[in-house]
Amino acid sequence: MRLRTITFKTSFWRPETDYVSEIIRVTSTHLKNGDIIAVSEKAVSTASGNIYDEAGVLPGTVAKFLAGYWTKGLWAGPLGMITGLKRQPLNNLKNYPAEEGAAHKQTALWHVGLLQSLRHYSEGGIDASNLPYTYVSLPLSKPIEVADKIRETVFQLTGKKVTVMIMDGDTTYSWRNLHLAPRVVDTPGLVHFGGVLTFIIGRLFGFKARQTPIAISGDIINPDRALWYANLFHKLCGVGAGRTVWSMSKNMETSFTGVTWEMLEEVDHFPVTLMRLE
């Protein structure tokens, strides 16, 4: 069987963007029954206004510890090295910003809890890349409902029966039929048991790393195939303004908090991919 894909460039989805209409607009003339529509969780969260401004956050003692000794000491040192982090991520963690970093860790503690906050990035699906100023996107609370809504609206407006997958760029680690997801997700066959431990175990034992399908609406898809789709989607959709806040600020030639909405709108974004098995 052959897999055909089309990845669609769209405008940057600011808050209050009708993302369902945007998805249908770009895919409708290409759709066939049985197609898979893969969509970025980050783009949907931003369009839904599921973002949080960390500018006014006052970090507590735990958040300051996590942004300081835990991240700049352990993750940039022994913990980062034993889990195989590359030189650039280690350098980024050594220079983790004290004030903004503590505010970010406090946000993570509030929204996703301690075990996720112990991670060095993408704590529980919280993401600061491809957002301006001090905003971060939060994980979707009910991604399966989002996927259902997209699939049902596609059928109502086009008559095509499709499967919708919501994808997260964070990593699931697999060993045979064991798939350790970075957080609790709606995808059958993916399990989660505790924040930072998933990353550490997956990296230490060399488990297969692929991005995470957090929800699937439509046909039943084998977990391993769903992870393969998520990994392919991640490669096809690109990085937008940058995969991390470090690369984003470097690409934009500004500070971590100096990126604007207008800057992001100048960058190509590819939040939707159509997949078809033939």
**Would the pLDDT of 1 be above 80?**
no
Q: Output the CA torsion sign for 188, 150, 124, 233.
A: positive
**Structural domain containing residue 28:** 3-41+143-277
pLDDT in tens, 3-41: 999 999 999 999 999 999 999 999 999 999 999 999 999
- The phi, psi pair for 277, rounded to 5°, reads -85, 130
Token match 């992870």: residue?
A: 227
Burial of 55 per CB tally in 10 Å (0-12, 13-18, 19+)? exposed
47 assigned to some structural domain: no
118 and 191 housed in the same domain:
no
217 assigned to some structural domain: yes
User: What is this structure's pTM?
Assistant: 0.95
Least Cα distance to 93 among 57, 114, 62, 68 occurs for 68
> Is 278 in contact with 2 (CB distance < 8 Å)?
yes
Q: Average of pLDDT values for 245-264?
A: 92
103 and 10 housed in the same domain:
no
Distance CA 191, CA 269 (A): 30
158 and 257 housed in the same domain:
yes
What is the count of structural domains for the chain?
A: 2
46 assigned to some structural domain: no
Last residue of a domain, one of 137, 152, 180: 137
Last residue of a domain, one of 112, 137, 162: 137
Least Cα distance to 62 among 96, 97, 90, 103 occurs for 103
16 assigned to some structural domain: yes
pLDDT in tens, 164-208: 999 999 999 999 999 999 999 999 999 998 889 999 999 999 999
28 and 157 housed in the same domain:
yes
Percent of the residues in the chain that have a pLDDT greater than 90, as a whole number: 92
Q: Which CATH number fits the domain that encloses residue 270? A: 3.30.1330
Strands 135-137 and 51-53: antiparallel
89 assigned to some structural domain: yes
